[in-house]
Structure 1
């Protein structure tokens, strides 16, 4: 019999509990939700779990937080363990549905600290969320972090909109760039691992 791995595990790091200790169950404003995402993203790379990325899923209208996610590629050893995938998967687990837009569920939105990479673009589109809130888009993320985000088309937001997923952009954009700049300083100092499978993006 072939000896193969039969499961993999992706979990939030233990420090998440500290960061969420004072966070109310309902965070009504999108800026407040994005501030939480930025805080998680900044701590995540400093803890060594993965890149400077975080996300959360909230009930769009009430602001109730359903899940949070951070990039745990390094700590899990799983390349697809991006913040959006973690947050969406945990939200689906919490609701008991692979479709976050299923009948009987409130509308959900994903809040993330930059436009999703090519992998998370598809994961978001197929998750059932009805809203996507991003801190920003553009080349700055790749320039600052050196990550390869993949070939996301210029009409990325329109593709979401045609599928009934509202896109809200530029929510605390400067704060996202501050996190990325701090990460870049650590990259240049050789203090963190940039996990591009095809080498460092230039």
Structure 2
């Protein structure tokens, strides 16, 4: 019999509890929801869990926080363990199903500190969320952090909109860039690993 791994686990780091201790269950303003995302993203890379990325799922109209996620690629050793994947998966666990847009559910939105990479683009598209809120888009993320976000088409937002997913951009954009710049300083100082998977491969 072939000896194969049968499961893998990704989970939020323990420090999340400290960060959420003073956070109310309802955060009505999108800007305040994004502030929480930036706060989690900044602490995440400093704790060594993964890159400077965080996300949350909220009920759009009430602001009730359903889940949060941070990038735990380094902590888990699993390349797909991005912030959006954790936030969406935990929200689906909390609501009891794979479709966050299912009948009887409130409208859910995903809040992220930059436009999703190609992996998280697909995860968001099929999650059932009805809105995507991003701090920004454009080349700055890759230029600052050196991460490869993948070949996402220029019509990425239009594709969401065509599927009934509202896209809201430029929510606290400069705050996102500040987190990325602080991360890059640490990378240049030799204290942080950038985990582009291909490494030196052709």
1:112 aligns with 2:104: no
1:196 aligns with 2:190: no
Q: What's the offset of the Cα at 1:108?
A: 0.2
1:198 CA drift (Å): 1.4
| Residues in 2 aligned to 1:35 and 1:57: alpha-carbon distance in whole angstroms | 14
User: In the TM superposition, what whole-angstrom CA distance separates every residue of 1:58-91 from its partner, at most 9, and x where no partner exists?
Assistant: 0011100000000000001100000000000000
CA–CA separation in structure 2 for the residues paired with 1:170 and 1:134: 6
- The equivalent residue for 1:15 is 15
Alpha-carbon distance, 1:157 to partner: 0.3
**Separation in 2 of the partners of 1:146 and 1:19?**
27
SS in structure 2 opposite 1:25?
coil
User: Equivalent residue of 1:164, what SS?
Assistant: coil
Per the TM alignment, residue 199 of structure 1 is displaced from its structure 2 partner at its CA by 2.5
Cα-Cα RMSD: 0.7
Structure 1 outlier segments of 4+, above 3 Å:
none
CA distance in 2, matches of 1:43, 1:160: 30
Partners of 2:4 and 2:192 lie apart in 1 by 31
Per the TM alignment, residue 190 of structure 1 is displaced from its structure 2 partner at its CA by 1.1
- Could you tell me which runs of 5 or more consecutive residues in structure 1 were left unpaired when the two chains were aligned: none
Q: Which residue of 2 aligns with 1:91?
A: 91
In 1: Cα distance, 2:143 partner to 2:170 partner: 18
Residues 33-72 of structure 1 mapped to structure 2, 5 A cutoff = 33-72=33-72
Give the structure 2 partner of residue 151 of structure 1: 151
Q: Secondary structure at the match of 1:122?
A: helix
TM-score by structure 1 length? 0.98
Q: Which runs of 5+ in 2 are unaligned?
A: none
User: Between Structure 1 and Structure 2, how many residues are aligned?
Assistant: 200
